[in-house]
Structure 1
């Protein structure tokens, strides 16, 4: 399915999975998906990745290596349920101060509830806003993280420019996203599971197959690793690189604002 992927020239703005939609229509469709799956989003991440998303997220936060000192500020975008933010707070020995931003209020509601139960209320705030128009001043954060969310943003280039704007000099950008499998045979096995197993499991667990069909298709539309790295560089970042996880099923892109 790699032939479906968009290039650095764009195309995600009007791509709703394999469907082409009108300009400006995608965001509402994506919002509807996440309103439907919010309560079972983390369970379905286990289903979609065979539980590997937990290992990948731990690796992402280990790469960030947040300092154990007050004043470290991070922004986790499209992080509504709090999975990455909780890990960063824990890794910073509860010294990090985070803002969890999501355009979807249902996802944020789940995250805020989980944060209260974990006792992270003093470390985190939850903000409903658009990744393409961040409501923060320039040079506000030491780190910007986004996990499995950038492909759902219609204008990825604009979101990357916003990430660059709100980071301080020396700030770190980390993006974890499903990507292109680069190991023969594994790619075919992964395709078979994705297009047949995941929507069926979504129907069984969450009562909805269609949202998971979109999520699977959106993975196949997202730019290849090297193309996405070029987009990050185009936004102004330096020292851009990526690490494949599990043969490229996911990839962690890293960059710095220098």
Structure 2
């Protein structure tokens, strides 16, 4: 499972799997951003202008993975919420990564109105309230078990807490100055609809920031990713934002420092995607019915099987950071791992 990739943020390349780095220092703050200009998915960076990109996915996003269905995700977080902050975050989403990712959101006013969609236990919210008054922040999540953890955190007591759906937000149009969503898009059955909602609730000039996974290139990691939940490619993030009507789409790559820039196994938290709403009102994108109707009765046995298979696949991604941490301890500094 070793990687032969060199590291260093200067190695930007176009590969058969899409735009990527031959290697990058994920932890440093000198990471380049990928900036999208215009409507034709033209990628530009300081080092390389890349022609029109194409989106290639293993299955349509309309065919959710096992824990990408809302009901399975509900039960998944019923159990994982018990140790979310103490077990999952230390291996996949550290405070340094959170603060680095939120830097791109331009949280530059204490009075800004912010919605944290899929806020979970409030881990990302804790980074937001460093820059914005807690009374101006609303945390939304579909999991009451995750939100129960938020209520235990004293510094988040003034935040508004709402149980809700990221694909059908309970906010009026042109409501917020900033939209933040971290570690949530991977559970959306219809990510395009969720990003369209982000556009709708933002004010003109408001900024959306979605922090989420990146798709692996290593075959075994792809196998488990495709079973578990949605790991978008960078091209997919770009296309979803642009179709919703956003402008100035940028991607900032992040990851645990002990990975030394390795991205081939995929990252549960691997990038921060930001974009600006250019005009007031709803998104110009028209969509059909929802991919998943949570009110529709389902077979409990089917939910159980999907939940068990998806949860089993997730174990692989609990082990990957342990493997990378061990390699970081063994392989001499200055050498790729």
Bigger Cα displacement from structure 2, 54-63 vs 8-17: 8-17
Q: Name the CA shift for 1:112/1:241 in 2 (closer, same or farther; >3 Å).
A: same
Q: Are the equivalent residues in 2 in contact too, given 1:27–1:154 (CA < 8 A)? A: yes
1:53 aligns with 2:94: yes
Query: Structure 2-normalised TM-score?
Result: 0.57
Partner of 1:121: 157
Alignment pair present for 1:84 and 2:158: no
Check whether the contact 1:68–1:95 (CA below 8 A) recurs between aligned residues: no
- Of 57, 64, 69, the match for 1:7: 57
Contact 1:140 1:166 in 2 (8 A): yes
- Please tell me whether the aligned partners of residues 237 and 257 of structure 1 are also in contact (alpha carbons under 8 angstroms): yes
1:107-163 CA-partner distances (Å, limit 9, x unpaired): 11111221xx22x322x1110010111111000000111111101011111111111
2:237 corresponds in structure 1 to 228
Structure 1 Cα separation of the partners of residues 191 and 60 of structure 2: 8
**Cα distance in 1 for residues equivalent to 2:177 and 2:134:** 13
Gap change, CA 1:31 and 1:233, over 3 Å in 2: same
Contact 1:232 1:240 in 2 (8 A): yes
Contact 2:176 2:202 in 1 (8 A): yes
Gaps of 5+ in 1: 18-24, 196-212
Q: Counterpart of 2:74?
A: 31
Equivalent residue number for residue 243 of structure 1: 252
Which of the residues 13, 21, 41 maps onto 2:84? 41
C-alpha distance in 2, partners of 1:42/1:214?
22
Q: RMSD in angstroms over aligned alpha carbons?
A: 3.0
* Counterpart contact for 2:114–2:176, Cα < 8 Å: yes
- Runs of 4+ deviating beyond 4 Å: 213-216
User: Distance in 2 between the 1:233 and 1:106 partners?
Assistant: 34
Residues 1:130 and 1:255: Cα distance change in structure 2 (over 3 Å): same
Q: What secondary structure does 2:94 align onto? A: helix
Which secondary structure state, in structure 1, belongs to the residue aligned with residue 253 of structure 2?
strand
Report what 1:109 is aligned to. 148
> Do residues 253 (structure 1) and 273 (structure 2) align?
yes
CA distance in 2, matches of 1:170, 1:95: 22
Aligned residues: 215
Cα gap change, 1:10/1:96 in structure 2, threshold over 3 Å: closer, same or farther?
A: farther
